[in-house]
Amino acid sequence: MGWKEAAEPVLTRMPAVRRPEGHVPFKRKLMWTAGILMLYFFLTNVTLLGLQSGGANDLFGEFRAILAGSQGSVLQVGIGPIVTASIVLQLLGGANLLGLDTDDPRDQVLYQGLQKLLVVLMVILTGLPMVFAGGFLPAQSSLQLGGLALEGTQVQLLMFAQILVGGVLILYMDEVVSKWGVGSGIGLFIIAGVSQRLVTGLVQPAQGGFFFDWYRILTGQVDVGSLVSAAGLQTLLINEGHIIALVTTLLIFGIVVYAESVRVEIPLSHARVKGARGRFPVKLIYASVLPMILVRAVQANVQFMGQILNRQWGGMPTWLGTYSQGQPDGGLFYYLAPIYSPQDWMWWTANVSQNAWQVLIRIGIDVTFMVVGGAIFAIFWVETTDMGPESTAKQIQNSGMQIPGFRQNVGVIEKVMERYIPQVTVIGGALVGLLAVWANMLGTIGNVSGTGLLLAVSITYKLYEEIAEEQLMEMHPMMRQMFGNE
C-alpha cells in the first residue's frame, strides 16, 4: 500500500470550505472579502491571554510586512506557516516525490488535505519555540482565569493553544477569500499590513511620521544644519527628511506598474471560427511577485533558527554568529541576514559597527540570494501553477485556439512557448529580487520592506485587474462561460 492509500482516510477528512455552486455575484464577493479583512484586523488586535506586558522580542519583526500577523496577538505566526508549507510542497512536487496528479480530482483532494496538514504542523513547529524558548513571548508567572488558576507551564500551554487556533483561523480565512471572495487571502493580508504601515509612516503624529517630521523641520524644531555638509544631507535625505524613502517608494510603485504592463503578446486565432483572434500575453513579471514571499520566508526561517540557537545555546561558536540586542552583528548569521534599511549598510555612520568589507560581503550575499532565489522560485512557481510551456500549450489547444502559421498541435505550440516563458520567468524573478534589495537599501516610507512594498503594489494591480474582470462578467453574463466561471 502506497502513502496515498495510507494517508487518504486522514487527508480526505480535513475540514474544507465548501465551494460555491455556480456563479457568486460580485457584490457578495466584496462582502466576503471585506468581512474577512475586518476579522483579520480584529484578530491582529487580540492580545494573547497570559502574555507578559513588555519585553517580548519579535522574531519576525523585519518580515512582518510580508508574513502579516502581529506580534503578541492571536495571529502571531501570520501567513508564515502557509508559505513554508507551500515551499515544502513545491520542492516535493518539483522532485516528483509526491506522485500526485493535480488534474485528477482524487489527487486534488489529497494535495489540499496534505497542504492543510503541513500548515498545522508548521504552526506547531513555529509556535512552540516562541512560547517555550524563553524571551520571545514571555508568559506571566500566574494567571487567574475565572475560577481556574494557571501557573508556569500551564500559562505557556494556554498561549500556545491560542497561537495554534490563530494559525488555523488564518488558513481557513485565506480559503474563504479564495473561494468566495476576490483575489486570495494571503494577498489581501499582505496588502492590509503594508498599507497600514505606509499610512502610519505618512501621517502618524510622532517622530518618524513623514508629515510630522517635515512640520518639525519647517518650524525649526529640527536643526538641519548646512545642506552642503554630510550631516545636513543625511538629516534631510535619510533621517528626518525621508526624501530618499519617499522617492524610492514612488519609484517602486511606478516600476512595478510599468513592469506589469511590459509583455510579449503571442497572436492566436480560432481554428474553426474565422476571424476570431486573440493574444496570449507573456508578462515581464510572468511569475508575479509572489515567489518573493518564498525567498523571504527561507531567510526568515534561517534567522529564526539563529535566534533560537542564540537563546538556547548562547555560547555557540563566534564564526556561527554573535548577537547584540537580539540582532546578529557577526558570524555566519550576520552575513546571511538581509539588508533591512540604510542604517544596516552605511558603514561610515555610527549605526554600523562592522568594517566596510564585512558590510560589502553581507550586501553581496543578500543580492545574490534574492536574485538567484527569485529566479529559482519563479521557475518553481510557474511549473507548479500550470503556467509552464507544456501546461499553457494544452490550455491553448483545449480552447480551440492556434498560433497562426503553425500546425494545430500541442507539441508545436509548446515549442513556441519555450522561446519566451522560461527566459521571461528567470529575468522577471531576478529583476524582482534586485528591486527588493534596492528598496531595502534605500528605505521606504513607514519602513516597509522592499519585498513587502513590491508585493503590495503587484497584488493590488492584479486585484484591480480581477475586479475589472468580475465587473465585465457581471455586465455580460455570457463572458462567464468564456472564462470558465459558470
Neighbours of 80 (CB within 10 A): 27
The reply to whether 256 and 113 lie within a common domain is no
Q: Give the Cα separation of 317 and 336 in Å (integer).
A: 16
Going by C-alpha positions, the residue among 198, 224, 8 that lies closest to residue 109 is: 8
Going by C-beta distance under 8 Å and a sequence separation of 6 or more, which residues neighbour residue 343? Answer: 349, 351, 352
In this prediction, residue 80 has a pLDDT band, given cuts at 50, 70 and 90, of confident
The reply to whether 418 and 463 lie within a common domain is yes
Q: Are 267 and 420 in contact (CB under 8 A)?
A: no
User: Which range (221-225, 398-402, 471-475) has the least confidence?
Assistant: 471-475
The reply to whether 94 and 159 lie within a common domain is yes
The reply to whether 175 and 309 lie within a common domain is no
pLDDT at 43 over 90: yes
Q: Are 107 and 101 in contact (CB under 8 A)?
A: yes
The reply to whether 365 and 423 lie within a common domain is yes
Is position 211 within any domain?
A: yes
Task: Taking the CA atoms of 183, 187, 188 and 189 in sequence, report the sign of the dihedral they define.
Answer: positive
Residue 426 has what pLDDT? Answer: 92
- Who has greater pLDDT, 56 or 161? 161
> Up-side HSE of residue 238: CA atoms within 13 Å toward CB?
16
Is position 360 within any domain?
A: yes
Residue 276 has what pLDDT? Answer: 65
Going by C-alpha positions, the residue among 424, 469, 455 that lies closest to residue 256 is: 455
* Cα→Cα distances 445→28, 61, 194, 195, 196, Å: 34, 16, 10, 11, 11
In this prediction, residue 478 has a pLDDT band, given cuts at 50, 70 and 90, of low
Residue 314 has what pLDDT? Answer: 62
The reply to whether 209 and 343 lie within a common domain is yes
The reply to whether 155 and 204 lie within a common domain is no
99 DSSP assignment = -
- Who has greater pLDDT, 188 or 101? 188
The reply to whether 140 and 285 lie within a common domain is no
98-106 long-range Cβ contacts below 8 angstroms, 24+ apart: 99/2, 99/4, 100/4, 102/386
The reply to whether 304 and 347 lie within a common domain is yes
Residue 483 has what pLDDT? Answer: 47
From 153, 181, 209, the end of a domain falls on 181
Is position 188 within any domain?
A: no
Q: Give the Cα separation of 357 and 328 in Å (integer).
A: 16
The reply to whether 457 and 397 lie within a common domain is yes
Q: Give the Cα separation of 81 and 122 in Å (integer).
A: 5
- Who has greater pLDDT, 133 or 448? 448
Task: Give the distance from CA 290 to its chain's centroid.
Answer: 6
Tally of structural domains, the chain: 2
Is position 97 within any domain?
A: yes
pLDDT at 477 over 80: no
3-state secondary structure of 337: coil
pLDDT at 392 over 90: no
Task: Tell me the CATH number at 157.
Answer: 1.10.3370.10
User: Which range (32-41, 72-81, 374-383, 467-476) has the least confidence?
Assistant: 467-476
From 181, 207, 228, the end of a domain falls on 181
- Who has greater pLDDT, 59 or 354? 354
State the pTM of this model: 0.80
pLDDT (mean) for 190-203 = 88
Mean pLDDT of the chain: 84
pLDDT tens track for 256-291: 888 888 888 888 887 666 666 778 888 888 887 778
Q: Give the Cα separation of 56 and 65 in Å (integer).
A: 18
From 125, 151, 181, the end of a domain falls on 181
pLDDT at 7 over 80: yes
In this prediction, residue 5 has a pLDDT band, given cuts at 50, 70 and 90, of confident
pLDDT (mean) for 343-352 = 82
**Domain range holding 262?**
196-479
Residue 464 has what pLDDT? Answer: 86
pLDDT (mean) for 206-222 = 85
Mutual orientation of helices 105-132 and 153-180 as an angle, nearest 10°?
A: 150
Residue 124 has what pLDDT? Answer: 94
- Who has greater pLDDT, 475 or 91? 91
